[in-house]
Structures are given as C-alpha cells and as structure tokens.
Amino acid sequence: MKCLILAAGYATRLYPLTENFPKPLLKVQEKTILDWLLEDIDGSGCVDEYVVISNHKFAKHFEDWAAQHRLKITVLDDGTETNETRLGAVRDVQFAIDELKLADDLLVIAGDNLLDFSLKDYISYQKEKGSTCVMRYYEPDINKLRKTGVAEVAEDGRILHMEEKPAEPKSHWCTPPFYIYKAADVSLVKKGIESGCGVDAPGSFIAWLATQTSVYAYEMPGKRYDIGNLESYQKVQEEYRGIQVQ
C-alpha cells in the first residue's frame, strides 16, 4: 500500500502562519501534523511509501522535512503557485497516479487533519471488505454537515449515496478525508474526472465511485481534529494528546 498525502492547498484561512509555510508542517505539541499521522500509519506495517503532493510554493519545505526521515517519502510538486490556480484534490491524486504509475492500494489522507485514534483498525476493515472505504462519524450540526462530505449508509456499512457540501444533507454521517482506494479502483480516478465528478474536494471522486461500485464506510472510534483556521489550530494545541486508542 502507498499513502498519498494531500498537501497542495494554500491554507489561506490560517494566514499569516501559512502565508509562506505549509499547514501540514505546523507543529502540534512537539511534532508536526504530518509526523503525528505518519508515526501511526507506519505502525500498521502496511505502507511501503509515502507520497506528499505539494504545490510549487511549498515543495522545498516538504523536501527538507522528508530528507530528515528514515521512511521512504516522495515529494511531488504539482506546479501551482497560487490558491486560484490550484489543481484541486482529485486532480492532485490523478497527478500522483500518472507521475509515479501508481497501481497499488492507496491510503489517501489530508495532510492537515489529526486523529486521536489509530488508523490500524481502519486499514484492517478495508482489507476485510475488499473494497474502497471511507471513514465516517456522526455530526448533529446541520451547518457543519453543509460544509463537508455526507453519506447515506446501509446497515452493512455500504455507501448508498454520498455528496460533498450538500445544501440539504440526507444523513448525519460525515466523511472526513481519509480514504483507502483498492488497487482496482485507482485507475477509475481519471474516469471519474472525465465523467464530471468535482475535483476540488477529495470526497467528490468517492461520491462518484459509490455510483459505480461498492464503497464502505468505517465508523470512527474517536475524534478528528480539522485545523481550518487560527482558532481551531489554537484549540488543537490545547487538546491534542496523540493517539489514545491502539
């Protein structure tokens, strides 16, 4: 399995902290956001390479960070230099697939989220299902649901319908950006883009894929920290203590 880390955004809501520095390399407690994530994923023993997809503006920061690691980390520069010219998460995934000729199972994660539980059980869940999988958590707040991916889920965990940022959410199941594409579905990213799936939000491809094949949703056993603005960054600094569930 390869791990694709989506890190090509510009984090404009976190300015001035991220005006000249990438959000995934901000520190929470004593580690960068990416180090928290990779430390856990590496413990699963399933990932043999990490691929960080960066914009051109921040690529050197990620290259310097990767050079200090013992893990196999490849940094890809998608060539964009402004928020207005960004490719969008789904096109960045396709860019990585094309550049590295990827055909393995892919763990695709946002580089600016933290979890207080291990991803090991999620990876095991995907192996059991043998299908592309997403994570889900219950969100009671309608306004928050309108800003994220929302899925209708069958009793066995299969996604019946999924939509990014719906005006009228059809369920309370949020789907944060932690996906596992099974190898056979990796080649469908290009088809999804050509079929008109959205490209900005990473869940747009999954929403399309769920209309083509079975996609399952793993219920999160803990909390996700989305670092979207200065207030949420300050909050995670105070609250986050790393993985609590092994």
Task: Give the three-state DSSP class for 110.
Answer: strand
**Tell me, which fold does domain 2-239 have in CATH?**
Spore Coat Polysaccharide Biosynthesis Protein SpsA; Chain A (3.90.550)
> pLDDT (tens digit, 9 = 90+) per residue, 19-29?
999 999 999 98
pLDDT of residue 245: 39
> pLDDT-based confidence at 243, cuts 50/70/90?
low
Inter-residue contact 78 to 102 (CB < 8 Å) = no
> pLDDT (tens digit, 9 = 90+) per residue, 211-227?
999 999 999 999 999 88
CA dihedral 220, 91, 236, 107 (to 10 degrees): 40
- Say how far residue 50 (Cα) sits from the centre of its chain: 13
pLDDT value at 244 more than 70: no
State mean pLDDT over 111-118. 92
**How many whole angstroms separate alpha carbon 76 and alpha carbon 85?**
17
> pLDDT (tens digit, 9 = 90+) per residue, 52-89?
999 999 999 999 999 999 999 999 999 998 888 889 99
